[in-house]
Chains A and B, each alone.
Chain A
């Protein structure tokens, strides 16, 4: 479930800087994880090991926190992250069917990234565009009134 990477010197320095900006305080673990995920886009095992070492806590504890909060991920996001709004308005107007279509077309489940690293899939709660429900976001771009038929077209815009 984790992606193995070899950490470069600069990566280690970045994590150390984040940890020391919180005085290497184990009580700041969640903030350290937030900043680290901002920096790397995800939290691979190696990053967690460095954080554990810097904060002087067991790696198992860090992993426990990473797996508890759904915001943290150990899988890198795709080049084009696809998010389907599952807020009430979008949901009643068929967001689940749209999500199912994306799952089928991309061959991945929410929280996963396609093998070629191009797309990742996630659901989110309300982007404040309920008038356009159901709403899909790809990166920062918002698509409104999406039907299952539109899914193929949207993906095609980004396929390389």
Chain B
């Protein structure tokens, strides 16, 4: 143990503890800006670059950045003397002097670490008047980059490269011109970006935000010629409450349904319904591949890989196109919902698909990109017209003068609002494969499950594996969340180091509960863990917990699709994948 003094208080800490963490132990919160640490995920960004966290260490000539300076025996630290406060203020003023002053209209206003810091430090004027950055604003289908606001904390670069291994972003140029951008400063659309949105999730300022579609949705609702229906993804209900002052992990399913009705959607449906439908199709595909494999067909593509996550799909299209036979051809729940809404449901209503507008509320920004993929449209009319994030829904609720906390608990509409516990857990890592196992087990063994909960598939470790006993047949399951972990899992499979029958991959750490469209966690992973618990709580409280028992999905198959993997199912609910390598890379890998 190491003994030191911080602001006249003596404290003992373990060797290797930074001044920042030691101070926290005794209730001293040294301000930070670039620093980010999510210990559960082994995510670290502490370049010591912004110098906001500087403190005075007696005997040291220069001020020390608290986030990277380790405590030493007998150290005497001052976190708020005049020298420290002056330096910290000067650093902040210099950062602000090259930052646009458009807080009034910034998407991050009220949720911005830089703004919070300026308030905390009581900055009232910026004494430095000089040149300002003027980069071009980049509008991709999912993410808007306004890098004039970039403060070079490099959190996004760390997420994109070290954690996700996507490599779309890098620090470029030097000195005043230094900024985080793409290769050759191209648009994000031309980069290998997967739109996972984890850069947005960690950006402390408004440099990275979602492409906001709320205005278009409001106009569609106001159009009397349109029937506007909405679907809400499982992870949204476990996080939306945070925007209205609820404790993280508070389920607001009923209030969310009431709010959507209040906003004016004609039907309030649930993506969980489509998640159950996904299990019917993906489960049938798994059993089909397994049966063929057990019957001696060695060419069957195994493991079956889940394909619900659009960022994951785009990732393997860029990096593993040679494995494009492995993923399930089943569309994601969002797109299955859209395809069924604009076929089965428009028929029921007696309207055309052009008269219907499908809106989805997603914890994700990649879902915006997914809904814009040309293969998910009929005659240029997309199956899903607009995908909003949880944050955008919260903004819409506020704009509509709705007092969220006093709303009654309401239910979803039928038929596309009926769902099971299996549909709910799609929102957490391990949930999709658990839902698939609940159905595949019973269909394969023709026996009821003794225990519905597959505890062995749950958890937050980056890569997990488990064996499930299908009545004597051992089914090997792999799970990865975070694209860096997914890459490792896939490379192991490619090299023959591991063998699985099925694998589940989600691009975001923790799964959709920590998606790029969720309320910002500001570096506090406990928020995500609370959402994770809430998802399993919702599942446990559902009267029906297996997708193949969803009565409205059963009815839809009887009335419309026939059976899973039928010709109509293939047309509406299955898709195909593309090789997205650059021309040069295709040429080089020939």
Q: Do A and B come from one complex?
A: yes
* Contacts from A to B (Cβ < 8 Å): 1-2, 7, 12, 45-46, 48-50, 53, 57-64, 67-68, 70
B575 at the interface (CB under 8 A from A): no
| A48–B167 CA distance with the chains assembled, in angstroms | 14
| A53–B584 CA distance with the chains assembled, in angstroms | 9
B105 at the interface (CB under 8 A from A): no
- A60 close to B169 (CB less than 8 A): yes
Nearest A residue (CB) for B589: A53
Q: Which of B161, B183, B582, B588 contacts A63 (CB 8 A)?
A: B183
Q: Which residues of B contact A60 (CB under 8 A)?
A: 167-170, 172, 181-183, 191
Q: Which residues of A contact B181 (CB under 8 A)?
A: 60
Q: Which of B170, B173, B182, B584 contacts A7 (CB 8 A)?
A: B584
B451 at the interface (CB under 8 A from A): no
Nearest A residue (CB) for B167: A58
B552 at the interface (CB under 8 A from A): no
- A58 close to B170 (CB less than 8 A): yes
11 more contacts with CB within 8 A, not counting A12-B587, A60-B181, are A12-B588, A53-B584, A53-B588, A58-B168, A58-B170, A59-B167, A60-B167, A62-B183, A63-B172, A63-B183, A68-B171
| A12–B192 CA distance with the chains assembled, in angstroms | 22
| A70–B175 CA distance with the chains assembled, in angstroms | 11
* Contacts from B to A (Cβ < 8 Å): 161, 166-174, 181-185, 191-192, 582, 584-585, 587-588
| A24–B431 CA distance with the chains assembled, in angstroms | 40
Q: Which of B161, B174, B184, B588 contacts A61 (CB 8 A)?
A: B161
Q: Which residues of A contact B184 (CB under 8 A)?
A: 1-2, 45, 48, 59, 63
- A64 close to B161 (CB less than 8 A): no
- B183 close to A67 (CB less than 8 A): no
| A45–B169 CA distance with the chains assembled, in angstroms | 16
| A81–B182 CA distance with the chains assembled, in angstroms | 30
Q: Which residues of B contact A48 (CB under 8 A)?
A: 183-184
Q: Which residues of B contact A70 (CB under 8 A)?
A: 174
Q: Which residues of B contact A53 (CB under 8 A)?
A: 584-585, 588
Nearest A residue (CB) for B166: A58
Nearest B residue (CB) for A15: B588
Q: Which residues of A contact B174 (CB under 8 A)?
A: 67-68, 70
9 closest A-B pairs by CB: A58-B167, A60-B170, A64-B170, A59-B183, A60-B183, A63-B183, A67-B172, A49-B584, A64-B172
Least Cβ–Cβ distance between B178 and chain A, in angstroms: 8
Nearest B residue (CB) for A62: B183
- B585 close to A64 (CB less than 8 A): no
Q: Which residues of B contact A46 (CB under 8 A)?
A: 584
- A49 close to B172 (CB less than 8 A): no
- B584 close to A50 (CB less than 8 A): yes
Q: Which residues of B contact A64 (CB under 8 A)?
A: 170-172
| A59–B184 CA distance with the chains assembled, in angstroms | 9
| A62–B172 CA distance with the chains assembled, in angstroms | 9
| A53–B167 CA distance with the chains assembled, in angstroms | 12
- B585 close to A67 (CB less than 8 A): no
Least Cβ–Cβ distance between B48 and chain A, in angstroms: 19
Task: Name, among A7, A46, A53, A57, the residue most crowded by chain B CB atoms within 10 Å (CB to CB).
Answer: A53
Q: Which residues of B contact A45 (CB under 8 A)?
A: 183-184
| A7–B582 CA distance with the chains assembled, in angstroms | 14
Nearest B residue (CB) for A57: B167
Q: Which residues of B contact A1 (CB under 8 A)?
A: 184-185
Q: Which residues of A contact B582 (CB under 8 A)?
A: 49
Task: Name, among A48, A50, A61, the residue most crowded by chain B CB atoms within 10 Å (CB to CB).
Answer: A61
Nearest B residue (CB) for A7: B584
* A/B interface sample: 6 pairs, CB < 8 A: A45-B183, A49-B582, A50-B588, A58-B192, A60-B191, A68-B172
Least Cβ–Cβ distance between B548 and chain A, in angstroms: 43
- A61 close to B167 (CB less than 8 A): yes
| A61–B161 CA distance with the chains assembled, in angstroms | 9
Q: Which of A49, A57, A61, A68 contacts B585 (CB 8 A)?
A: A49
Task: Name, among B167, B184, B582, the residue most crowded by chain A CB atoms within 10 Å (CB to CB).
Answer: B184
Nearest B residue (CB) for A66: B172
Q: Which residues of B contact A49 (CB under 8 A)?
A: 582, 584-585
| A43–B149 CA distance with the chains assembled, in angstroms | 29
Least Cβ–Cβ distance between B406 and chain A, in angstroms: 48
Q: Which residues of A contact B168 (CB under 8 A)?
A: 58, 60
Q: Which residues of B contact A50 (CB under 8 A)?
A: 584, 588
- B584 close to A61 (CB less than 8 A): no
- B173 close to A68 (CB less than 8 A): yes
Q: Which residues of A contact B167 (CB under 8 A)?
A: 57-61
Q: Which of A58, A59, A61, A67 contacts B173 (CB 8 A)?
A: A67
- B170 close to A63 (CB less than 8 A): yes
Q: Which residues of B contact A59 (CB under 8 A)?
A: 167, 183-184
- B183 close to A58 (CB less than 8 A): yes
| A7–B170 CA distance with the chains assembled, in angstroms | 25
Q: Which residues of A contact B182 (CB under 8 A)?
A: 60
Least Cβ–Cβ distance between A43 and chain B, in angstroms: 11
Q: Which residues of A contact B173 (CB under 8 A)?
A: 67-68
Q: Which residues of A contact B192 (CB under 8 A)?
A: 58
Least Cβ–Cβ distance between A74 and chain B, in angstroms: 8
Least Cβ–Cβ distance between A110 and chain B, in angstroms: 15
Q: Which residues of A contact B183 (CB under 8 A)?
A: 45, 48, 58-60, 62-63
Q: Which residues of B contact A67 (CB under 8 A)?
A: 172-174
| A67–B191 CA distance with the chains assembled, in angstroms | 18
Least Cβ–Cβ distance between A18 and chain B, in angstroms: 14
Nearest B residue (CB) for A16: B588
Q: Which residues of A contact B171 (CB under 8 A)?
A: 64, 68
| A2–B192 CA distance with the chains assembled, in angstroms | 19
| A61–B584 CA distance with the chains assembled, in angstroms | 17
| A50–B167 CA distance with the chains assembled, in angstroms | 15
Nearest B residue (CB) for A61: B170
- B584 close to A58 (CB less than 8 A): no
Nearest A residue (CB) for B178: A68
